[in-house]
Chain A
Amino acid sequence: MTPTLTYRSNASGFDFAPSRATGKIASNLLDQLRKLIEAGQSAETLQGRAIRELEDAFLDCRCGNWDGYGASAVRDAAFLQAKEFLALAVRRFPAPTASAMPGGSLTLEWIASPSRRFMVSLSGDDQIAYAGVFGSATVQGTATFVNDVPMEISKHLVRLFFS
């Protein structure tokens, strides 16, 4: 059977009429759509893995001295904030790896290569700490997290993955 597609753009500002395609063009489009869906499912899987890792880190470190060296317990507020931050971050960046900090916060870390990595630390406060290495250069600082990934953290993640 020859594939047939009907396409209507959702993009605002454009006024495409529905178009119909059959034959080779439709087959190519179908292939591309399938790849797009598979990529989306793959991203969802990666995000799910990051959330599960974050949950594990929280559950493993809810009590003090979880590292054997007197680490502080991770609070519920840190987990909720880290989960919110993660959900926002994975919309634009690859899924990070999650763990706990000895000071009682949760950390999300992105690793482009062993010498290019960046992490944020969330403890439930408005302020979040970050640090990163970009080859021989290091960055560190704090940023305010309210409703979205702070601009300076986005910039560092863009630098990590896209420059």
Chain B
Amino acid sequence: MPATVGDDESLARYALSKSWLYKDKRAGSPLRPNAWMPLPHVDLSVYRISEWDEPSILAQGNQVAEDREANHKAAQIAEGKPYPEGKRTFRYLGRGEINARDVRANGLEVVPEEPPPRHAIIIGWPPLTGNRKHDEATQMALAYKLSEKSAYVAA
């Protein structure tokens, strides 16, 4: 992959929890804008999916879900919480897709952050001010803008 993310590159935000999706069958994207907010972090994890075929994109989504599930399960067990065999917290449900150009048009930047291969992060979010609600409102407005420019592809 190129060392910099091109404007025309497509980025995927993998959805692993139903909490990111609207439950009703409304018009428009079923992906809630919350999916595009980095809080409590300062960057947002995405994958560069241009020139990848659909099976590869799906495989990566499933891999992300597997990794998160394994980490979550290990953390739960380490805390002494039961994690029954067959329980599954995270699954690859779909993805929000957005162009790097649309990310940059909103004053944000996207840069590679590997490993894993093709992983990137959206950075440049307005600096945290210490006023949690103010910071959240700023991110909510940006999340709306990213959400408007994104498309959802179900698994």
**A65 to B72, alpha carbons, bound, how many Å?**
8
B26 in contact (CB, < 8 A): yes
What 0/1 pattern do residues 60 to 78 of B give for CB contact below 8 A with A? 0000110011001001000
Least distance between A51 CB and chain B CB atoms (Å):
14
Count contacts on A: residues with CB < 8 A to the other chain: 42
**A70 to B71, alpha carbons, bound, how many Å?**
11
Contact A121 B140, beta carbon cutoff 8 Å: yes
Question: Which residues of chain B come closer than 8 Å to A127, judged between CB atoms?
Answer: 131, 133
A103 in contact (CB, < 8 A): yes
Contact A111 B137, beta carbon cutoff 8 Å: no
Which residues 1-20 of A sit at the B interface, judged by CB distance below 8 A?
none
Question: Which residues of chain B come closer than 8 Å to A55, judged between CB atoms?
Answer: none
A128 in contact (CB, < 8 A): yes
A-B contact pairs, 10 of them (CB 8 A): A57-B19, A66-B19, A101-B34, A102-B37, A103-B37, A107-B34, A114-B148, A119-B140, A131-B144, A138-B145
Question: Which residues of chain B come closer than 8 Å to A70, judged between CB atoms?
Answer: 40-41
